[in-house]
Amino acid sequence: MSLATTSTSAPRPLHSLPGPTPWPLLGNAPQVPRGRFHQQLEAWARRYGDIYQLRLGPRRYLVVSAPDVVGSVLRRRPDEFGRSRRMEEITRAYGFLGLFSAGGETWRRQRPMVLGGLDPSHIRDYFPALLDVTARLRTRWERSAGQSLDLQAELTRYTVDVTTGLAFGHDLRTLEQDGGEAIQDHLNVVLPALYARVLQPLDLPAWLRTPAQRRAERALQGHLQALREAVAGFIARTRTDLEREPALRERPRNLIQALVAARDQPGSGVCDEDVAGNVLTMLLAGEDTTANTLAWLVWLLHSHPQALARAREEVDTVLGGAAGVQSAAQLAELPWLDACVQETLRLKPAGPLVMAQSLRETVVGDVLVPSDAIVVCLLRPAALDARTFAQPERFDPQRWVGGAGAVHAMGSAKRQVMAFGAGPRMCPGRYLALAEVKLAAAMLLACFDIEEVGTPGGGEPAEHMAIVMAPVGLRMRLRPRRRPATAGAAGA
């Protein structure tokens, strides 16, 4: 047993903690609304405190939200906590066992490979690909000027094209076409099935499945096999490219080249199966998270005209009339846009909770946690703590840029916004995600006037939580900006 705190008194047992009153057998499951469970857990944190218990069926969960306790749990991975064993089993069965779901030795050998492929120097090498997709998003929006667009769907096309381009070395071009690619058809079946299975609390035994469910399962197996073959094909093609152009091993142009180059290093300890699992994991971890963050950012900017005007002024000054950012250096010159993104992540984290499963008996805060228990780490309460963030519910980018109204201890405030998690399993895709978000936002500000962004009812969009948290029902209407355009690389 290990201790997270140096308390002198004996730790409290998990069952003694406060928490919502459970129903017989079902526990608190009926009180946890589908799609809004993160908000219910946050509401209970306000009521029962920053460490409480919850029961789903027979299983007891510990829910924590104090930043030091959350940080301590997340930092004690991979030795004392893993992600969820169930998620690891499901993703293994689907061929998606990659860094997000793997535990133990598999995670340890994969992490350096993925981290290397997503580090800032590689993101700079991926820039031409990112600029190309951003320019295609601009063309798409120019063509649909004046129309009411489904914001989420638009931005998902953008992140799908970025992510598949980098992960497969083959961009699905969803910005230009609907379907038509066999691999997209397989993904359209496999990804929803995988999400549904992860979200469902228990698996039905095979003998309880209906004939329709068995037929769906057989069809799914066919798609999974085809997907495995397609990814094996991408890996083989990448290897041919690396043999033809060995310099790509040092300066890969996409993620799959970086992963294959790392895997082929003598003594890397990783195999093609690890590469395949991580190529597919990028789609799971990188698409919706980034698209949702962008959608919230666009809505927050539109709802705060002063912040938007300042962001546009900054973009116009830095881009000097070009239709988009042209280099990684230019992207680093947008501190106000950075602050707007930071505020978006503080208020609307795409992943508002992180689950950790204990690998042995341990102590969290002052609570004794048995082996195999699930600890739910809520990330948003710390980011909304009024002791650090004045008027915490307000979208106020000024707090991140210094001067009047800035957060006092910037470092500790930043640590309280854990939108990318914390510790050894912190999101390795954050540099890529921030680049994508800022490239698309800068292009939007430079090239378009936002005529409207909102929900049909006109109110604040509801938050919907499945695997990640998304705004519901946002639509957007754009008008090309009237300005002297000197198209740059992103606009060429």
Binding positions for ligand HEM, rule: CB under 6 A: 74, 99-100, 111, 114, 163, 281-282, 285-286, 289-290, 293, 349-351, 354, 419-423, 425-429, 432-433
State the pairing for strand pair 374-378/59-64: parallel
Closest contact distance (angstroms) between CB of 118 and ligand HEM is 6
Residue number, 322 or 341, with CB nearest to ligand HEM: 341
How far is residue 449 from each of residues 137, 142, 251, 425, measured CA to CA in Å?
A: 15, 11, 38, 39
Closest contact distance (angstroms) between CB of 309 and ligand HEM is 24
Residue number, 149 or 468, with CB nearest to ligand HEM: 468
Residue number, 17 or 468, with CB nearest to ligand HEM: 468
Closest contact distance (angstroms) between CB of 166 and ligand HEM is 7
DSSP character at residue 10: P
Nearest CA among 475, 376, 441 for reference residue 70? 376
User: In degrees rounded to 5, what are phi and psi of residue 471?
Assistant: -75, 145
Closest contact distance (angstroms) between CB of 258 and ligand HEM is 12
Cβ partners under 8 Å of residue 6, min gap 6: none
Closest contact distance (angstroms) between CB of 247 and ligand HEM is 24
Residue number, 72 or 290, with CB nearest to ligand HEM: 290
Q: Which residue has the tokens 């209906």?
A: 210
Residue number, 67 or 429, with CB nearest to ligand HEM: 429
Give the chain's end-to-end CA distance (angstroms, integer).
60
Cβ partners under 8 Å of residue 281, min gap 6: 91, 96, 97, 98, 99, 100, 101
Neighbours of 231 (CB within 10 A): 21
Confirm if 67 and 416 have CB atoms less than 8 A apart. Answer: yes
Stretch (H or E) spanning 330: helix 328-331
Closest contact distance (angstroms) between CB of 345 and ligand HEM is 6
Closest contact distance (angstroms) between CB of 342 and ligand HEM is 11
Alpha-carbon gap, residue 151 to 423, rounded angstroms: 33
HSE of 14 in the Cβ direction (CA atoms, 13 Å)?
21
Residue number, 12 or 124, with CB nearest to ligand HEM: 124
Sign, CA dihedral 481-485-490-492, equals: positive
Q: Which residue has the tokens 């989420």?
A: 152
Closest contact distance (angstroms) between CB of 414 and ligand HEM is 15
DSSP character at residue 59: E
| C-alpha angle 457-192-462 in degrees, rounded to nearest 5 | 20
Nearest CA among 175, 151, 135 for reference residue 478? 151
Closest contact distance (angstroms) between CB of 376 and ligand HEM is 12
Spatial strand order in the sheet of 475-480: 149-150, 475-480, 448-454
Closest contact distance (angstroms) between CB of 223 and ligand HEM is 22
Residue number, 114 or 478, with CB nearest to ligand HEM: 114
Residue number, 99 or 130, with CB nearest to ligand HEM: 99
Residue number, 351 or 488, with CB nearest to ligand HEM: 351
Residue number, 145 or 198, with CB nearest to ligand HEM: 198
Residue number, 293 or 388, with CB nearest to ligand HEM: 293
Alpha-carbon gap, residue 358 to 476, rounded angstroms: 44
Residue type, 386: A
Closest contact distance (angstroms) between CB of 278 and ligand HEM is 7
